[in-house]
Amino acid sequence: MDMTVDSVAFATDPRARARFINQKNKKTVKEFRVKQRGYKRPDFNRMILDLCNHFGWTHEKIAFILPVSGASTVSEWARGGIPNYDNGAAFIELWQTETGIERYPREGEWQTYKYKLGQLDIFEDGGLCDQVIDELDREIGL
């Protein structure tokens, strides 16, 4: 039996491929497709803004650290471009290293959660200001 013809048909015809998917695989495929509906890609623009605004990074510095051709590539990501997988993964790792946050922002989630960068929490209850005031009170004996 010559499998070459069948292989060509199998490779080009989705109906031919569907015959070989068993019930278990159908369930797995369905679960995968349901999960994909809710997938949101990383919000590279927000991560770039975080690095630039809170840590003083520039597009040039980000491009120098990452394996990309130049600052125009990073600028393109900031405008909504999608990096290839390797560059995107490297950028996410850089962002996580700089910020110390494990969960990175995803598109469309900018109002659903907040994270703290740098010294943004110095004025909150138990923050740095309260710690300094407590230390000063101890030193002066109040």
pLDDT tens for each residue of 59-78: 999 999 998 988 999 999 99
Helices (H), 14-112: 14-18, 23-37, 44-55, 59-65, 71-78, 85-99
| Contact criterion met (CB below 8 Å) for 73 and 108 | no
Cα 142 vs. chain centroid, distance in angstroms? 48
pLDDT digits (tens, 9 = 90+) for 94-132: 999 988 888 888 887 766 666 666 555 555 666 666 777
| Contact criterion met (CB below 8 Å) for 70 and 58 | no
The stretch 15-32 carries a mean pLDDT of 71
Structure tokens at 25: 């695989």
- What pLDDT is recorded for position 77? 93
**How many residues make up the chain in this entry?**
142
